[in-house]
Each structure stands twice: as structure tokens, then as C-alpha cells.
Amino acid sequence: MLIAILLSIFSEKPTNMVQRDADAEAMRLWTWQVCTEFGLFPTTDSADEIFVHALPLSYFMNLCTNVFQEEFYAARVQAGVDRTNLMYGGRDNYRVYLFLFLIQRKMSTFGFQGSNVVVTSSLNDPWQPLSKLTTKDCSIVTVTIRGGYHCADMYTDVDVNVREAHRVVEENVRSWLNSYNNYRLQ
């Protein structure tokens, strides 16, 4: 079942990447980010996988090459991941960037340490190990949804664990907004 789902999403045939509906365009954008910035390929290259070699890294390199008509290889993807981590601080040094256009129409970038962020993850999300799971910074809150799945926090609160995650997000955002309003009124 999982293999069938992944194959339908990550088809080597780029035909589903040239459609012009909103879902296809969003998938093409996500695929570009995965190929050039994130490297989040659900491979089965590890010997510990139940489906050993069913979806090797080379499959995804070929997908990127076929869809975008550019050569992709592991070192290129890794360089993009390294650049993304450098720019945004990676999992443990979250940064926010402001892009400012100066009068000369040149773009300047100013980085600030991120704060007032709730990072959610789900225990059953295959990408959960890539998430920020702990923090020493009290302005960055981490929540792990027990029994949750990929993007569980983005859906309605039908599960008690998702409801708890939503409550933590709401509580923190409300607190940060109140702090800002109190500061502004001083």
C-alpha cells in the first residue's frame, strides 16, 4: 500500500507535473523544493527497511531530472540542503529572514534568531526525525502528537492528541499576542 501511494505521488513520468490545476502546481512546487532545498526523499536504501531497495535514492534523482530537465545527483541535492540549513539555521538554530528591496532594486537579507514559534510533529510521521523535538529556548515550543501522522496538526481536532496540540498552539499564540499588546500599550 505505502509503495503504491509513493509511486502515485512520485511517478517518474513527468506528465502529472505539467498539469495546470492548483493541486498539480502545488505538487510541482513541492517537488522542486525537495529536489533543490530539502532532500526529503522517502527512500528505502537502508538495510533496516522492510522494502529494501524498492525506492532507492537514484529513483528520486531520476524523478528530479525528468521533471525539471536538469541533471540532479546526490551531491547537488546535498549542497542545496546544506545551503537551506545555513540560511535558516537547520533544526536547532531556527532563523527568520526578512528580505528587503533597497532603492537600487537590490535585495538585502537580514537574519534574526527565530522566536515565538510552536513546532509540531507527529509520532508516526516518517519525517518526524527531521523535526525539532526539543528546545532549550522558552520562546520555541515543541509538541509531539502521540499516534499522529504526517500533517495531523493541520486537520480538524477529531483526535484527543490533535486537540491537545491545537490547544498548546492556541495558548502560546494567545500569550505572545497578549505580551505584544501589553508591550505596545506601555
What total number of domains does the chain contain? 2
Identify whether 104 is part of a domain.
no
pLDDT of 173 over the 90 cut: yes
Q: Which residues contact 31 (CB under 8 A, 6 or more apart)?
A: 17, 63, 64, 67
**Per the confidence metrics, is the pTM higher than 0.85?**
no
User: 14 with 81, same domain?
Assistant: yes
pLDDT of 135 over the 50 cut: yes
Residues 61 and 43: beta-carbon distance below 8 Å: no
From CA 80, how far away is CA 76, in angstroms rounded? Answer: 6
User: 81 with 17, same domain?
Assistant: yes
From CA 151, how far away is CA 134, in angstroms rounded? Answer: 19
Domain of 50 in residue numbering reads as: 2-87
From CA 45, how far away is CA 59, in angstroms rounded? Answer: 11
Given 69, 87, 105, which residue is the final one in a domain? 87
65-110, pLDDT tens digit by residue?
Answer: 998 988 888 899 999 999 988 888 787 777 666 555 555 555 555 6
User: 14 with 76, same domain?
Assistant: yes
Mean local confidence (pLDDT), 116-140: 86
From CA 30, how far away is CA 23, in angstroms rounded? Answer: 10
Identify whether 98 is part of a domain.
no
